[in-house]
Structure formats: C-alpha cells, structure tokens
Amino acid sequence: MRPTGIEVRPLTGGIGAELFGIDLAEPLDSQAVAEIRQALLDHLVIFFREQELTPEQQLAFARCFGEPDIYPFVQGLPEHPEITPILKLEDERVNFGGIWHSDTVYLEQPPMGTMLHAKELPPVGGDTLFANQYLAYDALSAPLRGFLDGLRAVNSAAKGRVSQTRQARIDDRGTGMDPEDLSAVHPAVRTHPETGRKALFVNVAHTVSFEGMSEEESAPILQYLFQHQIRPEFCCRFRWGPGSLAFWDNRCAQHNPVNDYHGHRRLLHRITLKGDTPG
C-alpha cells in the first residue's frame, strides 16, 4: 500500500483525533477513504483543520462514507437539502442542540455519523464536547451491564429540553413535522455493526424510559446513566477554527455544543449519514 500522507494525532486517551496531511476539497482515493474510516472507528470522532469546502465539496466527502439524510425538523440549504445550517444568531440565548445527545435516535434507523463544517465562528467559545460510549459501558459494574443488556430504551423527539434548543430554527425554517410523531425503541446497549463493541445507547436529550417500565421506574437508572456517561475521562473538547470539520460516529459517541458565546453569530453546516437499525 502506498502512503497517503495522512497523520493521525489523538486528542485524549479516551476519544478524538485530529487528521493532518489531507485536503478534503480534492477527490479521495479508496486508500484515503479506508484510512479515514479506520481513524473514525478507532477514535470515534475525527477533526480536520482549515478545510475550505463548498457545500458541494462537503457533500462529496460525506458520500465517501455513506448516504446523506434529511433532517426532519429544519429545512436544509435550498440547493442542498441534505445540509442543515446549525445557526445561533447574535440576539439568541439558546443554541441548537445544546444538550448532551446522539443525533436523531428517535428515528427507527438513527444516523451512523454526522459531519459539521465551520462557516462562521465567534471570536471565542462555541467548543463542542464528545463522549465515548464504549468506555461508559465498560466502566459500569458487571451486574449493571447485565441488567442493561436486556433492556430497550424509548426515545422521543418531543422531550422538552431538546425541543427548546431547536425552536428558533423551526420558527424560521421549520418543515412542519410534529415532534410527537417521532419516537423509536432501541437497545439501551447497542452493538456496533463494524467493531462489534458494546456502547451505551441512551441520552438525556431523547431517552424517556425503558420499554415495559414507567417513566418513574426508569428515571433513577437513567439519571445515573446520564451523569455516568459524560465523565471527564470519557470526553474530549474540540475548539473550532476557520474551516474546521468534525466527523463523529453517532453509534458510539455523544456530543454537546457549549453555549458560551452570547452576542456572537455561529454557523456550521451539518450532514448526517444514514444508519442501520440498532442491534
């Protein structure tokens, strides 16, 4: 195999790596695609710096790894509906998706991955946190792992805290979809289809209960898991720069955009890639 020149630099001991030596605006050969995919599988979220991409180039890069999907609640770019503008305006206090979550797990087939490309950034702030859900599962006690292995989690698009984070964008670019219409039941612990590893697959934004249990019965267990799964040793923090692109594996990583840049505009272009039915 000839060398591609791609350099992988891990960010932490638990999750995240930056990739250097590649221009994503150029077509990628099969070897480069394979190396990037392996870096994603190894590190769960990968970052590229100073990538000047048009929407067409971002879509071409995304299609190397899967089929772009349409976000159900907010219209995409007029010419590229697969690209959702992730925007916070100067006068807004709530940021889009500003809570720990996995993307759209209220769908029967949640995304396999998500890509964000920085278009406009605040002078400081607006970092994104990521958490490794393999490590979160592995760090649980054996009895709790055994208990969770047999449970399925109910996920809803209508859970209150996350609904508030997207309301401003729905008001100006909404599709008319009712969040109450989207819910799905998935294993509380999913097995990654490529690595075979187990990962926690519940999140505070969307998971409301365990199947067959009431919300009241589920709440103490879920509250423990929501705190456990974002322990610092499972996490990394990415500081965006001009042209930065982040690509994460939605099947085993959660993320949380930090809302610490009031008074400034922030715009990123998001693409989600279609996934499979969690198992």
The one catalytic residue among 103, 169, 266, 269 = 103
Give 96-110 pLDDT, tens digit per residue.
889 999 999 999 999
* Confidence (pLDDT) at 216: 98
pLDDT in tens, 151-160: 999 999 988 6
Query: Is residue 177 pLDDT above 80, yes or no?
Result: no
Average pLDDT value for residue range 134-138: 98
pLDDT at 163: 62
Tell me what the pLDDT averaged over the chain comes to: 94
Mean pLDDT, range 223-237, rounded to an integer: 98
Q: What is the pLDDT of residue 2?
A: 54
Q: 43, 101, 192, 251: which one is catalytic?
A: 101
Q: Has 228 been annotated as catalytic?
A: no
> Which residue in 7, 4, 14, 8 sits closest to 232, CA to CA?
14
Range 7-273 has CATH code 3.60.130.10: yes
Q: Among the options 190, 192, 206, 270, which is catalytic?
A: 270
101 is catalytic: yes
Predicted pLDDT at 172: 73
What does the pLDDT look like over 120-132, one tens digit per residue?
A: 999 999 999 999 9
> What does the pLDDT average to over 225-240?
98
User: Cα separations (Å) of 38 from 10, 55, 75, 110, 194?
Assistant: 13, 24, 32, 21, 10
Q: Over 80: is that where the pLDDT of 54 sits?
A: yes
d(CA 265, CA 248): 24
What are the contacts of 165-171 at 24+ separation with CB within 8 A? 165/94, 165/95, 165/96, 165/97, 165/98, 165/99, 166/73, 166/74, 166/96, 166/97, 167/94, 168/89, 168/92, 168/94, 168/96, 169/73, 169/74, 169/85, 169/87, 169/96, 170/73, 170/74
Least confident of 1-5, 13-17, 145-149, 207-211: 1-5
Active site residue 103: yes
Nearest to 229, CA basis, from 136, 129, 153: 136
What residue spans define the domains of the chain? 7-273
Is position 80 annotated as part of the catalytic site? no
What's residue 171's pLDDT? Answer: 76
Q: Would you state the pLDDT for residue 1? A: 46
pTM score, whole prediction? 0.95
Per-residue model confidence as pLDDT tens digits over 60-76? 999 999 999 999 888 99
pLDDT(256) > 70: yes
Q: One of 166, 186, 255, 269 is an active-site residue; which one?
A: 255
The pLDDT of residue 145 is above 90: yes
